[in-house]
């Protein structure tokens, strides 16, 4: 505590003094509800950091009592770094989460309250589509949602998916949605009766004063209905009141006419009615509710949940589960929410349920920071109304508006305000006491820069991009740091094209590439080879061979391929029975097998082998053969099998060595990483396809077709990319949120471009459920552009390539002159030029930005006989995708069965019967895609061993609170300088003592000295390190730091030859602390090497005394490597 207080005293006062009066007010007001309206550059991150420090300084709260929720991972990371810089290591203990990470953590820690304690997994987009399609197939033909196009499939499929997502974000269950529809129906009837005929009085009234009178009459009628509990009327009245106010300011009523057209329509009798009251609309919504309910049921039956379920279900559980709510309220006594304007209804409901304790008397310690002008994530269900709901949900809310900007010059702020005030419905218009006119207060910036806004319009996109490139090139040559320059675009496509031009100019840049996996060369080659293999021996698709043989990884000379083709085309001439000449066309494979070129022969044999195995070999293993994977994945958390169980694939395809070998990695890292991220996405999606059931070659065609036939579904890969540590940042406007740069270039400032070209949802939702993004909402594009503009510190470039700029931005129509320079000609048809890597390590460091070390990485780095530093990058950091080995699948299933055993016991306070445990195991094993023989083998083994293990387990009495699959990913663990993570299979808390258990399959040991073989000695050595690492996780975590480590256990799930369950135990004490200190030191040394991309050569440890021949690596060699690391020799 002294250390913490010293840190607070030494830095807090200094930084606190730099705050302005309103920032200090927010920092000082730590009790009760507080809403801070914080415009761009107003110092909200510093405010939140200092407020967290002030809570620790002024109260008895611990860091773990503070919960800080934000919207993005980058926001959480930035907040963590700022707080740690202020209060040191204690900052790691503050619970900083995104909303989804928090919900996920609650579901994991209190798994017994969700899905009946069973293990569910997140659904892929493909699985969601399959479930909804099956639901639609089963509905009667007269159902409005079953409309189907012969080629495009179900007409309403993606509209249904969007509506279900919106309803969950809107915190509505199916039953609640149905009730809303029924209530709306009666409310619409009242509205139609009261105001329907009033609209007829508008006809012929062209004078604004007369028109206004009629609309005021309509407003009064709606307002009266609203006061009588007609929510639909209240909604319409609120919108109309804003429109009337704007009409008064403009002196014309065009916006009133638009309001009428948006919400009302003439019926068959010529009378105006609410659009939503039409029968077709009501029927569609009732049909949607039915699909929504069935979708949830089918998801449950399949053991799936979707992304929106996480927050929705946690919020609902908190509402009804007093015990869970009380525990979390006790833990999180102070809550702060960043970017509050981007929260959805379900996210706000979660916050409300975390703060509803009667003891708070409506004034919990919760602070929300937001800015309605920066609400740019509406497509994710974000609602501006949540800011106003915050004020209404709590008693005596302290409202603080930050009106000083420390980022930008005044001219940039003034231009941005001109833009944002074009929106009618803002906090300023709803609450007159809020004034958001922002003043520039960064004296140093103002003194050095007057601020500049450059607007350029071009005839075409080539000229625009060329201007941006030449201007940035000029800035860099003048000495401007490239990291202080950012190009912002509405879409990824613009950034990708600009990157090609930057390559031409040799401008360093960084950005996150988002690309379609099926556009990648390596994926197309894999798909074609699987298609060829699937064709079968009796009907081989030889028409694919010319393409297949042209693939670069075969390294076949083109002339050689041409020769094969010539022999096939020339054919053979034989004589028939009557002496006639008969032309016979030989097969490509036959010609290849008879070739004098040995490489051609080997390729032919390999391809025939693929065809012969394709019917029986699981798809992922077939792809392993195509890729040329040599051994089963070796860094699985659940693969505890003996070394002799590892098996190699007979024929080695050159695919992997060509694309992912050392030469390509050393000389073409961008392509290597680009292909690797695509392959990982592709293999990962295949693993999840059809719920993890076993796939064969024929299934790939259906998998690919799903993406080809659905324009709304793309299998995308997002990969970080940088050509230098000092690089210009290319990013989308959404990605730029919260960042700042000296120079900002905003591309393609066209109104249509920034609108996002949204399609209108063909089902829609009721007017009083505005949960879906509007297809033509001008406010959305204004806010997004406003965010882009306010990233600039002092220089803002606005460029466009259309006839004129968007009417939202400027009035000018003049265009920049386009000079036909040599560089411009090059950019007209840019080639795929390789980017210039000024610093190759910069590219790899992007991969390490959010790296946390698990114990498997520590062990694999040290295990020079198995992985070691040389293979660490590929196996552990880049994670080359491979099929899981059968033993890994088995180990994972055994772990899941035991996890569910304990969750069931915790939920129902009794042991599950053995049949239920076997069902847990069976369900997990079924997802492993094992063939029939393998499945039978591992299922029988699992049943036998689980029976012995459970019997042994239930014969002993376990004392204390048991937690399983304890995940430390969000525990803020730092082992000195090492951000660490991991999962503990079983954690037992008894008083202030904690013991950890790690379950193992494979060979068991009775005691630590039983290991005799070289392999077993290494294995047991790392068992010790694993337990030491877990002790470090516990003592450096937010939730478990107060517990003392009692003992660690390696427990073997599989019985020995005498049907006995064995375990290895290690108790805390002086000897154990020596081990912990050693592991802690090694972890820090290895982490530093990883972050510096320093992977030393360890080959000399594997050599015999003669220094020439290789030997089997022993424990002695590994220990020597460790000592060399500790001493700094390597």
Is the CA virtual torsion 875, 880, 884, 889 positive or negative?
positive
Q: Which helix (H) or strand (E) holds 11?
A: helix 2-17
Asked if residues 118 and 900 have their Cβ atoms less than 8 Å apart, the reply is: yes
3-state SS class at 508: coil
pLDDT tens digits for 653-687?
A: 999 999 998 888 888 888 888 899 999 999 989 98
Tokens read off for 689: 């396809």
Tell me, rounded to whole angstroms, the distance of Cα 550 from its chain centroid. 37
Tell me how many helices (H) and strands (E) the chain has. Answer: 43, 30
d(CA 227, CA 207): 31
**pLDDT, average across residues 845-863:** 91
Task: Label residue 411 exposed, middle or buried (CB < 10 Å: 0-12, 13-18, 19+).
Answer: middle
pLDDT tens digits for 427-466?
A: 888 888 889 999 999 999 999 998 999 999 998 888 999 9
pLDDT tens digits for 1043-1095?
A: 999 999 999 999 998 999 999 999 989 999 999 999 999 999 999 999 998 99
**pLDDT, average across residues 242-266:** 87
pLDDT confidence of 43, banded at 50, 70, 90? very high
pLDDT confidence of 133, banded at 50, 70, 90? very high
Closest CA to 827 of 457, 468, 455: 468
| Residue 648 confidence (pLDDT) | 44
Is the CA virtual torsion 663, 669, 675, 681 positive or negative?
positive
| Residue 709 confidence (pLDDT) | 80
C-alpha to C-alpha distances, 503 to 196, 719, 832, nearest whole angstrom: 62, 18, 9
pLDDT tens digits for 712-759?
A: 788 888 877 888 889 999 999 999 988 999 999 999 988 777 866 567
The better pLDDT of the pair 1005, 812 is held by 1005
- Least confident range of 577-591, 926-940, 1069-1083: 577-591
**pLDDT, average across residues 482-489:** 97
Residue with tokens 């003439």: 266
User: Is residue 109 pLDDT above 70, yes or no?
Assistant: yes
d(CA 145, CA 257): 32
pLDDT tens digits for 939-960?
A: 999 999 999 999 999 988 888 8
| Residue 382 confidence (pLDDT) | 47
Three-class SS string for 778-818?
HHHHHHHHHHHHCCEEEEEEEEECCCCCCCCCCCCCCCCCC
Q: Which helix (H) or strand (E) holds 684?
A: helix 669-688
User: Is residue 805 pLDDT above 80, yes or no?
Assistant: no
- Least confident range of 324-333, 486-495, 660-669, 976-985: 660-669
User: Is residue 808 pLDDT above 50, yes or no?
Assistant: no
| Residue 352 confidence (pLDDT) | 95
| Residue 32 confidence (pLDDT) | 96
C-alpha to C-alpha distances, 445 to 19, 410, 794, nearest whole angstrom: 17, 10, 8
| Residue 885 confidence (pLDDT) | 85
Closest CA to 1121 of 1105, 1097, 1104: 1097
Whole-model pTM: value is 0.86
Residue with tokens 């996996």: 517
| Residue 371 confidence (pLDDT) | 92
User: Is residue 797 pLDDT above 80, yes or no?
Assistant: yes
C-alpha to C-alpha distances, 833 to 253, 825, 836, 838, 842, nearest whole angstrom: 55, 15, 9, 15, 19
Closest CA to 232 of 264, 199, 185, 273: 185
3-state SS class at 821: coil
Tell me, rounded to whole angstroms, the distance of Cα 107 from its chain centroid. 17
Asked if residues 532 and 544 have their Cβ atoms less than 8 Å apart, the reply is: yes
Asked if residues 350 and 103 have their Cβ atoms less than 8 Å apart, the reply is: yes
d(CA 304, CA 131): 11
d(CA 73, CA 1029): 26
In the chain the first and final C-alpha atoms are separated, in Å, by 38
**pLDDT, average across residues 212-234:** 92
d(CA 345, CA 386): 7
Q: What angle do CA 468, 472, 475 make, to 5 degrees?
A: 145
Tell me, rounded to whole angstroms, the distance of Cα 228 from its chain centroid. 45
Tell me the residue ranges of DSSP E strands in 279-417: 304-305, 334-337, 366-370, 398-402, 404-405
User: Is residue 649 pLDDT above 50, yes or no?
Assistant: no
């Amino acid at each position: 505590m002294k250390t913490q207080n010293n840190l607070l005293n030494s830095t807090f006062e200094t930084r606190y003094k730099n705050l302005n009066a309103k920032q200090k007010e927010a920092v000082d007001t730590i009790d009760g509800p507080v809403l801070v309206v914080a415009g761009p550059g107003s110092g909200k991150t510093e405010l939140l950091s200092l407020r967290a420090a002030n809570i620790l300084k002024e109260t008895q709260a611990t860091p773990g009592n503070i919960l800080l929720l934000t919207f993005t991972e980058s926001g959480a990371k930035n907040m963590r770094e700022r707080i740690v810089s202020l209060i040191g290591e204690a900052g790691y203990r503050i619970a900083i989460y995104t909303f989804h990470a928090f919900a996920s953590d609650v579901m994991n820690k209190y798994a017994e309250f969700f899905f009946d304690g069973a293990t569910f997994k997140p659904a892929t987009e493909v699985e969601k589509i399959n479930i909804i399609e099956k639901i639609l197939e089963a509905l009667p033909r007269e159902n409005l949602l079953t409309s189907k196009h012969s080629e495009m499939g179900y007409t309403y499929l993606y509209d249904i998916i969007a509506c279900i997502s919106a309803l969950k974000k809107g915190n509505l269950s199916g039953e609640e949605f149905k009730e809303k529809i029924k209530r709306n129906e009666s409310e619409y009837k009242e509205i139609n009766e009261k105001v329907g005929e009033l609209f007829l009085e508008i006809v012929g009234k062209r004078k604004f004063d007369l028109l206004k009178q009629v609309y005021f009459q309509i407003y009064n009628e709606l307002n009266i209905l609203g006061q009588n509990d007609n929510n639909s009327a209240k909604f319409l009245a609120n919108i109309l009141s804003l429109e009337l106010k704007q009409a008064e300011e403009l002196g014309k009523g065009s916006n009133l006419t638009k309001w009428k057209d948006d919400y009302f329509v003439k019926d068959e009798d010529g009378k105006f009615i609410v659009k939503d009251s039409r029968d077709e609309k009501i029927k569609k919504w009732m049909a949607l509710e039915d699909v929504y309910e069935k979708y949830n049921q089918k998801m449950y039956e399949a053991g799936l949940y979707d992304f929106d379920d996480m927050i929705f279900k946690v919020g609902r559980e908190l509402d009804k589960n007093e015990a869970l709510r009380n525990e979390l309220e006790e833990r999180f006594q102070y809550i702060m929410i960043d970017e509050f304007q981007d929260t959805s209804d379900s996210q706000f409901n979660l916050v409300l349920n975390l703060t509803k304790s009667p003891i708070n008397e409506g004034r919990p310690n919760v602070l929300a920071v937001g800015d309605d002008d920066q609400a740019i994530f509406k497509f994710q269900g974000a609602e501006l109304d949540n800011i106003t709901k915050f004020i209404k949900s709590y008693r005596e809310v302290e409202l603080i508006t930050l009106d000083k900007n420390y980022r930008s010059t005044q001219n940039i702020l003034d231009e941005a305000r001109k833009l944002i005030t074009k929106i009618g419905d803002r906090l300023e218009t709803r609450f007159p006491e809020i004034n958001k006119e922002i003043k520039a207060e960064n004296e140093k910036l103002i003194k050095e820069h007057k601020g500049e806004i450059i607007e350029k319009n071009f005839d075409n996109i080539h000229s625009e991009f060329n201007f941006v490139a030449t201007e940035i090139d000029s800035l860099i040559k003048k000495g401007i740091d490239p990291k202080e320059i950012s190009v912002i675009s509405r879409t990824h496509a613009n950034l990708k094209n600009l990157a090609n031009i930057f390559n031409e100019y040799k401008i360093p840049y960084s950005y996150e590439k988002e690309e379609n996996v099926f556009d990648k060369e390596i994926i197309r080659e894999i798909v074609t080879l699987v298609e060829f293999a699937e064709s079968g021996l009796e009907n081989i698709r030889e028409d694919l061979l010319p393409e297949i043989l042209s693939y670069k990884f075969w390294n076949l000379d083109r002339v050689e391929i041409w020769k094969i083709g010539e022999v096939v085309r020339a054919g053979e001439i034989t004589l028939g029975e009557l002496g006639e000449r008969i032309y016979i066309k030989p097969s490509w494979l036959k010609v290849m097998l008879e070739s004098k070129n040995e490489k051609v022969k080997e390729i032919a044999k390999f391809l025939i082998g693929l065809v012969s195995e394709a019917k029986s070999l699981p798809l992922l293993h077939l792809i392993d053969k195509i890729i040329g994977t040599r051994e089963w994945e070796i860094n699985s958390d659940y693969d505890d099998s003996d070394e002799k169980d590892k098996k190699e694939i007979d024929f080695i395809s050159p695919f992997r060595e060509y694309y992912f070998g050392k030469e390509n990695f050393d000389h073409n890292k961008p392509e290597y990483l680009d292909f690797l991220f695509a392959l990982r996405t592709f293999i990962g999606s295949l693993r999840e396809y059809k719920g993890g059931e076993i796939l064969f070659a024929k299934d790939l065609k259906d998998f690919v077709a799903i993406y080809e036939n659905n324009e709304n579904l793309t299998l995308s890969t997002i990969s970080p990319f940088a050509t230098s540590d000092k690089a210009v940042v290319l990013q989308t406007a959404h990605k730029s949120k919260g960042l700042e740069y000296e120079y900002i270039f905003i591309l393609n400032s066209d109104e249509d471009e920034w609108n996002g070209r949204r399609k209108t949802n063909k089902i829609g939702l009721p007017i009083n459920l505005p949960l879906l993004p509007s297809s033509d909402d001008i406010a959305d594009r204004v806010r997004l552009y406003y965010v882009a503009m306010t990233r600039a510190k002092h220089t803002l470039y606005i460029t466009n390539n259309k006839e004129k700029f968007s009417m939202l931005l400027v009035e000018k129509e003049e265009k920049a002159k386009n000079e036909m320079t040599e560089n411009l000609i090059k950019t007209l048809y840019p080639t795929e030029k390789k980017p210039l890597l000024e610093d190759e390590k910069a590219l790899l460091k992007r991969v390490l930005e959010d790296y946390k070390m698990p114990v498997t990485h520590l062990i694999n780095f040290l295990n020079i006989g198995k992985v070691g530093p040389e293979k660490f990058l590929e196996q552990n950091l880049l994670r080359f995708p491979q099929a899981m080995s059968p033993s890994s699948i088995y180990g994972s299933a055994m772990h899941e069965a035991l996890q569910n055993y304990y969750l069931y016991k915790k939920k129902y306070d009794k042991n599950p019967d053995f049949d239920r445990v076997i069902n847990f195991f069976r369900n997990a094993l079924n997802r492993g895609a094992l063939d029939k023989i393998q499945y039978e083998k591992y299922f029988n083994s699992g049943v036998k061993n689980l029976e012995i293990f459970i019997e042994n387990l239930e014969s002993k009495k376990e004392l204390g609170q048991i937690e399983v699959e304890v995940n430390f990913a969000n525990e803020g663990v730092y082992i000195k300088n090492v951000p660490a993570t991991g999962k503990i299979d079983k954690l037992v808390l008894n008083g202030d003592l904690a013991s950890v258990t790690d379950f193992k399959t494979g060979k068991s040991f009775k005691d630590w000295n039983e290991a005799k073989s070289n392999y077993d000695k290494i294995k047991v050595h790392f068992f010790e390190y694993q337990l030491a690492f877990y002790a470090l996780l516990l003592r450096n975590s937010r939730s478990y730091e107060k517990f003392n480590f009692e003992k660690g256990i390696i427990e073997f799930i599989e019985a020995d030859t005498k049907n006995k369950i064995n375990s290895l135990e290690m108790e805390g004490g002086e000897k154990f602390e020596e081990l912990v200190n050693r592991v802690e030191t090694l972890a820090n040394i290895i982490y530093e090497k990883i972050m510096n991309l320093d992977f030393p050569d360890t080959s000399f440890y594997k050599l015999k005394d003669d220094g020439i021949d290789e030997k089997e690596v022993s424990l002695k060699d590994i220990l020597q490597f460790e000592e060399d690391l500790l001493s700094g020799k390597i």
